[in-house]
Amino acid sequence: MAHSHTSASILLLVLLETATFGFCTADVHFLNLGGANLTKAAPYWLPTVNMLPSLVELHLPGCGLSILPLTLPQINFTSLSVLDLSANGFNSTLSPWFFNLTELVNLDISMNNLNGALPETLGSLTRLKNLDLSENSNIGGQLPRNLGMLCNLQSLKLSVNNVTGEITDFIDSLSGCTNTSIKTLDLGYNSLTGHLPNSLGYLTNLRILILRSN
Ligand SMILES: *[C@@H]1O[C@H](CO)[C@@H](O)[C@H](O)[C@H]1NC(C)=O
Ligand SMILES: *[C@@H]1O[C@H](CO)[C@@H](O)[C@H](O)[C@H]1NC(C)=O
Ligand SMILES: *[C@@H]1O[C@H](CO)[C@@H](O)[C@H](O)[C@H]1NC(C)=O
Ligand SMILES: *[C@@H]1O[C@H](CO)[C@@H](O)[C@H](O)[C@H]1NC(C)=O
Ligand SMILES: *[C@@H]1O[C@H](CO)[C@@H](O)[C@H](O)[C@H]1NC(C)=O
Ligand SMILES: *[C@@H]1O[C@H](CO)[C@@H](O)[C@H](O)[C@H]1NC(C)=O
């Protein structure tokens, strides 16, 4: 990808410029700059994205973004359905605005260095099918009770973090979904407790269950 690093940074900066002047960015639905070195655009990436109200998919994995702003005065990109910000070296807490993106189907913020608790507001992302917060090391707090209400979840990956609390209630709650789609549940390498309830048997689509090192 080396050849495209500069052009990707320039594209993001151009988007920033054109958005500033109101040209033709309203129609950007899909942006994938995965693997491009956007280190220089780190302070601007979120304000830039916020000027793309029609965005449906945003893929920026491994871009060296490093800065994850905690607040946004207003969120414009609320149609976003796919967000991949994995491996960007973010080291703050999970930004509250993630949980305002209620159209999200796939959210991947794995392999960063995020910390802080999983908020109950995670429960508002009811369309989520794939949630990957694995390998952040320091995401902690209790497993939110609400998580079990995300009945569309097909894959939940929280491994290699410091999540505490009971898995019993969580699995009970998931098994209460009319149609449980969950296929992959990777909660390994955390600090979870509890026992596996009989209701695990209702998760009929479950193929992969990883609980090691809890
Ligand atoms: C990314 O770009 C920055 C500055 O443009 C540079 O210092 C850094 O070494 C680059 N990183 C990689 C992994 O190429
Ligand atoms: C949101 O979009 C509107 C219209 O495109 C624009 O006027 C406004 O500045 C944007 N807000 C932010 C925070 O970028
Ligand atoms: C996110 O949602 C919360 C609760 O609905 C609301 O109070 C907050 O203003 C929203 N934040 C943004 C940036 O839109
Ligand atoms: C987080 O990253 C920023 C910028 O890279 C750095 O200045 C800061 O020291 C880091 N904080 C921690 C706790 O690692
Ligand atoms: C994990 O969480 C527990 C309880 O919240 C805390 O005492 C401990 O220091 C955390 N461990 C790490 C490695 O952050
Ligand atoms: C139940 O979930 C599966 C897997 O996501 C899906 O293929 C199926 O159509 C769903 N059935 C109903 C009745 O919603």
Give the tens place of pLDDT for each residue, 76-91.
999 999 999 999 999 9
By alpha-carbon position, which residue is closest to atom 12 of ligand 6?
Answer: 179
Nearest by Cα to 171 from 141, 140, 203, 144 = 203
Check if 181 has its Cβ closer than 6 Å to any atom of ligand 6: yes
pLDDT band at residue 149 using 50, 70 and 90 as cut-offs: confident
pLDDT band at residue 21 using 50, 70 and 90 as cut-offs: low
What's the mean per-residue pLDDT of the chain? 89
What the block records as the tokens of 205 is 């689509």
Spell out the residues 6+ positions from residue 42 whose beta carbon is closer than 8 angstroms to its own. 64, 65, 66, 67
pLDDT of residue 4: 47
pLDDT of residue 2: 42
pLDDT digits (tens, 9 = 90+) for 157-204: 999 999 999 899 888 888 888 888 999 999 999 999 999 999 999 999
Exposed / middle / buried, residue 200 (Cβ in 10 Å: 0-12, 13-18, 19+): middle
Query: Mean pLDDT throughout 13-27?
Result: 61
Cα–ligand 5 centroid distance for 162 (angstroms) = 6
Cα gap 154→149, rounded to integer Å: 13
Provide the residue type at 185 as one letter.
L
Check if 113 has its Cβ closer than 6 Å to any atom of ligand 5: no
Check if 98 has its Cβ closer than 6 Å to any atom of ligand 3: no
pLDDT of residue 104: 98
pLDDT digits (tens, 9 = 90+) for 27-67: 789 999 999 999 988 988 999 899 889 999 999 999 999 99
For the cut 80, the answer to whether the pLDDT of residue 17 exceeds it is no
Check if 66 has its Cβ closer than 6 Å to any atom of ligand 5: no
CATH number, position 203: 3.80.10.10
pLDDT of residue 134: 98
Instruction: Report the predicted TM-score, pTM, of the whole model to 2 decimal places.
Output: 0.88
Provide the domain limits for residue 55: 2-210
Which residues partner with 184 through β-bridges?
155, 208
Query: Mean pLDDT throughout 114-124?
Result: 93
Please give the torsion angle defined by the CA atoms of residues 109, 73, 75 and 111, in that order, rounded to the nearest 10 degrees. Answer: 0
| Number of structural domains the chain divides into | 1
